[in-house]
Chains A and B, each alone.
Chain A
């Protein structure tokens, strides 16, 4: 039996939440550039790697087109897989195209994204409008995205569920002084449809004698059983973030960020991040960052329910529990082409490493064998993210 532990739906949501970012700019079309990136995530028994290629080109001085090809190759033996099923591997491929149109101080953007994997397909369309205001001191951006997902289940060709998504964005960037920029962002997202994972289960106190039907599992030697997760079929979330970036006297930059999140599932989260950018005289730029994230659980999450079907909605997804994580990151970028060469203006080679430590407050590590359910140690793990990429401007 295969258990999908990385929430594949989340992976596509990521695509269409973040895929639009490069389409939003001040009233100057984005630079013509190409980026070829290779990424690796390794942590908690999960390894994900693959390429991402982003190309952007302006034409007729009013339009800028872009395309992105992105792959996640996943092999998983995560905590959920180890405790309930066997390792698996799969691949997700995502393709995006977009076009921006510049008119005076306004940029309008359209984009389309498609994501495919063996049990989840998704499409989304995006519209963004951005306007410079107040002598170009401010930039106001509005965006709307619409997503259509189709959720499948391996081994069950008749299983097919839909999810509809709406996503609204508002962003205001502001020049405050000659050295200080601020950005305020707000996003509302609504989902409707089949929102839980078709493979994941919750556990409840019981034993093999209480097994009612084939939908339940009771591991031998344990006093708990599993049953299917069941989520509400709607979710609405709101996020607001304030960012700042300050130019320091010795040509360095200091960044700060705070984000507040809340949703109708009862999840509340706060994110804090600081960063420091330091260019050297020999064409290297270094970035250092620290990020802290803290989350309160969904109202229907429980590590161990008291009995079978204890609640109308139930989840034991660690991403819906109460937990925190710390990230320490560093990047280095080297400008290897300082003079134009043929049609290329300049180029950089880049390396990035981030180390994340997750600590869960009410998600327990079931690899530790104990006869008393609920006495297992709390789960924690660390992960490393590696990125290497080449960027060229032309």
Chain B
């Protein structure tokens, strides 16, 4: 049931994507494409830092590292 709900939500996302006009045009994404705008500019380093925290803290997950969303990296 949960999987069905999830797939339904994803399908809404996918069907909607062609009808949305990007309000930030591709040619306006110069700042977003700058390497300093990456959530994880150095993956080997941020992975290690997350590693240290997870070994010493009870919380886990959602550490990030999913990259940017601008299609310009």
Q: Are A21 and B66 in contact (CB under 8 A)?
A: yes
Chain B residues whose C-beta falls within 8 Å of the C-beta of A187 in the assembled complex: 61-62
Q: Are B36 and A10 in contact (CB under 8 A)?
A: no
Q: Are A14 and B50 in contact (CB under 8 A)?
A: yes
Contact string against A for B residues 51-73, beta-carbon threshold 8 Å, 1 for contact and 0 otherwise: 11111111111111111111111
Q: Are A389 and B42 in contact (CB under 8 A)?
A: yes
Q: Are A253 and B70 in contact (CB under 8 A)?
A: no
On whether A140 and B10 interact (CB within 8 A), knowing A18-B63, A181-B68, the answer reads yes
How many chain-A residues does the 8 Å CB contact rule pick out? 95
| Chain A, Cβ-Cβ closest to B35 | A285
How many chain-B residues does the 8 Å CB contact rule pick out? 54
| Chain B, Cβ-Cβ closest to A94 | B51
Quick check: is A230 within 8 A (CB to CB) of the other chain? no
Q: Are A22 and B58 in contact (CB under 8 A)?
A: no
Q: Are A179 and B10 in contact (CB under 8 A)?
A: no
On whether A141 and B52 interact (CB within 8 A), knowing A52-B44, A295-B58, the answer reads no
Q: Are B53 and A183 in contact (CB under 8 A)?
A: no
Q: Are B66 and A185 in contact (CB under 8 A)?
A: yes
Q: Are A139 and B22 in contact (CB under 8 A)?
A: no
A154 to B45, CA, bound (A): 32
CB contact list, B24-60 vs A, under 8 A: 24, 26, 28-29, 31-32, 34, 36-60
> Which of B28, B56, B70 has the largest count of A CB atoms less than 10 A from its CB?
B56
**CB pairs A–B below 8 angstroms (9 shown):** A18-B47, A28-B72, A132-B69, A134-B22, A138-B69, A181-B37, A186-B62, A240-B62, A298-B58
The 7 closest A-B CB pairs, nearest first, are: A173-B69, A21-B65, A135-B22, A136-B71, A187-B61, A239-B62, A239-B61
Residues of A within 8 A of B (CB): 6-7, 10-11, 13-15, 17-22, 24-28, 35, 37, 39, 41, 52, 54, 68, 105, 131-142, 167, 169, 171-175, 177-179, 181-183, 185-189, 237-241, 243, 245, 247, 251-253, 255, 257, 259, 261, 263, 265, 267, 269, 271, 277, 279, 285, 293, 295, 298, 319-320, 325, 331, 333, 350, 352, 354, 358, 385, 387, 389, 391
